[in-house]
Amino acid sequence: MTLTHSELRAVGDDDAPATVVTEVDGIPVSALFAEAPAPRAVLLALHGGSTTSAYFDCPGHPELSLLRAAHRLGYTVLAPDRPGYGSSAPYADRLIPAAVRVDLMFEAVEAFLRDRPRGAGVFLTAHSAGAELAMRMAGDPRFTDLLGVELAGTGYRYHPEGAGILRTVGPDSPRPPGVGDLIWNPPRLYPADARRGASIAVPAPPAETEAVADWATQVFPALAAGIGVPVRFTAGDHERVWCNDVTALAEVGALFTAAPRVVLNRQPNTAHNISVGNTAAAYHLGLLAFAEECLVTAEHGEFTGPTPQLDGGTVPPER
């Protein structure tokens, strides 16, 4: 298992991440990567469905980039293309079993980071369908230096507007009619050239349908109970795939029974695709503030808990 492209483009004033590729058992895995000389920690970001790692570094909008913001704050940042996306897309049929995808990602991350310094450890964030892989990894004993987890764009109960549409997802209909309206509305919350994934959309692999089939009813609760690090869970106030009211957020928080701290956040003026919306920078600063808290906790002492809570103690009303 070796890096097939190890020459990283120099990160200049704009903190642009480089595209890198490694190989695991004959399967190439691509990623966006920017290394800090002496990182405070590593930020590992897993994108959602029907996109790639570009979700965290939206073309034409460096001001919205999570990867650039984190790198400026002293993090080494790594955003792999999940199994079945990017360089591994031609091998998607081999990557349907969850255990195969988890193994591939662990080995790829290890190959990308190798002997590079990781600072205090790794902070893991994921969006939407990427939460499935992230939560499996977060509960895996191999993840010995995990500092904390941020999840967004997922949930425990479908929003009434999304329930009927998403229950029709299957092998013959991986993206049924109406999904675009669910995740890209209202248009005013996104830059005009980013709406409906204009610059980042790609086909979803077969594993995507398999992975989310029993997500809300079985997989999400089971995986949540196995995560033993601090967790922050964010829902946009205009989220229409998943319920985002106070009761729904509290239900989600209660699932993380092993986490020493659970923070619940509803992000104002934000729809499903939170990291490419007009409020992405605000969301990313909150995410990185939580990562900072996890980093300090790892260095100076544990939180006591679990103590599910809402950021700021309130949930802003829907508009």
- Please tell me the predicted confidence (pLDDT) of residue 251: 96
- Tell me how far apart the alpha carbons of residues 24 and 1 are, in angstroms, rounded to a whole number: 5
Q: Is residue 319 part of a domain?
A: no
pLDDT in tens, 198-212: 789 898 898 787 666
**pTM of structure:** 0.89
- Of the listed ranges 47-56, 196-205, 304-313, the least confidently predicted one is 304-313
Q: Is residue 80 part of a domain?
A: yes
Give the residue, 2 or 14, on which the prediction is more confident: 14
Contact 200, 55 (CB under 8 A): yes
Question: How is the chain classified by DSSP, letter by letter?
Answer: --EEE--PPP--TT-PPEEEEEEETTEEEEEEEE--SS-SEEEEEE--TT--GGGGS-TT-GGG-HHHHHHHTTEEEEEEPPTTSGGGGGGGGG--SHHHHHHHHHHHHHHHHTTS--TT-EEEEEETTHHHHHHHHHTSTT-TTEEEEEEES--SSB-HHHHHHHTT-BTTBSS-TTHHHHHH-SGGGS-GGGGGGTTT--PPPHHHHHHHTTIIIIIHHHHHTT--S-EEEEEETT--SB--SHHHHHHHHHH-TT-S-EEEEEETT--S-GGGSTTHHHHHHHHHHHHHHHHHHHHH-PPPS---EEGGG--PPP-
- Please tell me the predicted confidence (pLDDT) of residue 314: 40
Q: What is the CATH classification number for the domain harbouring 37?
A: 3.40.50.1820
Q: Is residue 67 part of a domain?
A: yes
pLDDT in tens, 72-86: 999 999 999 999 999
Q: Is residue 318 part of a domain?
A: no
Q: Is residue 145 part of a domain?
A: yes
Report whether pLDDT(129) > 90: yes
Q: Average pLDDT, whole number, for the chain?
A: 87
Q: Is residue 274 part of a domain?
A: yes
- 233 pLDDT band, cuts 50/70/90, is very high
Report whether pLDDT(286) > 50: yes
Q: Is residue 185 part of a domain?
A: yes
Q: How many domains does the chain have?
A: 1
Instruction: Print the domain residue range for 227.
Output: 3-313
In 3D, which of 263, 261, 256 has the Cα closest to residue 235?
263
- Please tell me the predicted confidence (pLDDT) of residue 304: 53
